[in-house]
Copies of this chain bind each other. A is one copy, B any other.
Amino acid sequence: MTKRSPLAPDRFPHMPAVAGVRLGTRACALRYEGRDDLFVAEMDAGTAVAGVLTRSQTASAPVDWCRKALMGGRARVLVVNSGNANAFTGSVGEGAVSQTIEAARDVFSVEPGEVFIASTGVIGERLPVEKIVAALSDIRAVFADTSWEAAARAIMTTDTYPKGSARRVRVGDTDATLCGIAKGSGMIAPNMATMLAFVFTDAAIAPGALHVLLSSSVDRSFNCTTVDGDTSTSDTVLLFATGAAGGEPITDPADPRLDDFRAALDDVTLDLAQQVVRDGEGAAKFITITVTGAEHDAAAKNIGLSIANSPLVKTAVAGEDANWGRIVMAAGKAGEKVDRSRLTIRVGGISVAEKGEAAPNYDETPVAAHMKGTNVSIDVDVGIGEGEATVWTCDLTHGYIDINADYRS
């Protein structure tokens, strides 16, 4: 394992139990030795589920299955393995999914459509599913002792630290909890921006409402982040609501009783998405790009992602060079309207370019000082309209090449 990202948070957050959710992890030696690589969650009967999956045309067998199972809106078991993506494995891969579902059905006495599966790791190699089946048979034995951190660690691949986020929320008159874990550090781009993220709550929310809340939240978090512009075959975000906190399930996503939950969910997904970026392969700097003045919000997001995905911008940040000419270039190539004569760029809050040329009396010293920090902010106004968006990325360093010219992911 490579060393912990310099952008990692100090510690894994305190995360409480979520009523109606039981966690277990196991070491199956699917690829990694001496660490857990299987994460299982069992949820109470009646748990609602919503999900957002990769738009890749070469999605993995588990993604195909989740897409089908999400139609039912109900979940009882989640099985996640790391080390092998079970992607591009043909009918054998589909068979591995079926075997996992069968095993879960036997152990937990659930319907097949209530079993959700995710796999992350190497593409194109056969998943040793028999190891997963064996581990499932006695997974209940570890349910009492498994922490969120252990779960977050079990789903890691090239990640350098486990990622979790939790919030307490009020839903109507009820206290509830929201806990999420995520993994991912390369092959990170919109649709989806992380490989895997799982969020659990004990709030009572119906599947339809849950889906609306999750889609909107993902659009403003995972889908606003990028490490390398590469979209995975396995990207999966699932949100489970057990309802164990009590009350009738809320069915209207616009219900004001969900205001606090909605905000907390946005916090958790953004926190997880940013943690994934902070673990970007080889990342040494965390970059926040805010675009304003675009034709509409979607245009602002496209321009932001064009800047965030530009290798020339990312290497300039790695080199601590406030090379705003490359930002101009990247804004210009996004395919969205930009008024060159009104284009304004700030780096670290300091104006570097205004109205289509270098800022008058531009002093590079404070900008260079900002670039030396680990958090770099870039603000771009493109002078067309009212659209705005913020996206997050990391720099492109020798570390990225080291990791990816070697690791088979």
How far is A163 from B251 in the complex, measured between Cα atoms in Å?
65
Cβ-neighbour of A57 out of B91, B125, B336 (below 8 A): B336
A-B contact pairs, 16 of them (CB 8 A): A56-B333, A58-B329, A58-B331, A88-B353, A89-B357, A90-B356, A123-B328, A186-B312, A187-B329, A228-B311, A230-B310, A231-B333, A311-B311, A318-B401, A326-B409, A398-B401
Q: Which residues of B contact A315 (CB under 8 A)?
A: 400-401, 404-405
A58 close to B90 (CB less than 8 A): no
Q: How many Å lie between the Cα of A168 and that of B329 in the bound state?
A: 37
Interface of A toward B, CB cutoff 8 Å: 55-59, 85, 87-93, 122-125, 186-187, 189, 191, 228-233, 309-312, 315-316, 318-319, 321, 323-326, 328-338, 340-341, 343, 353, 355-358, 396-398, 400-401, 404-406, 408-409
Q: Which residues of B contact A340 (CB under 8 A)?
A: 57-59, 88
Give Cα A55 to B333, complex, Å.
7
Known: A122-B325, A189-B333. 11 other contacts (CB 8 A): A88-B358, A123-B325, A123-B329, A124-B328, A124-B353, A230-B330, A233-B328, A233-B329, A319-B404, A321-B408, A325-B408
In the complex with contacts A312-B187, A358-B125, A233-B401 CB distance below 8 A: no
Contacts of A353 in B (CB 8 A): 88, 124
B87 touches A328 (CB 8 A): yes
Q: Are A408 and B323 in contact (CB under 8 A)?
A: yes
- With a CB–CB cut-off of 8 A, which chain B residues contact A232? 329
Cross-chain contact A88 with B318 (CB below 8 angstroms) = no
* CB–CB A404/B88 < 8 A: no
A61 and B404 CA atoms in complex are apart in Å by 39
Which residues from chain B contact A341 at a C-beta distance below 8 Å?
Answer: 90
Are A355 and B401 touching (Cβ within 8 A)? no
Known: A122-B325, A328-B124, A340-B58. A333 touches B230 (CB 8 A): yes
Residues of B within 8 A of A92 (CB): 357
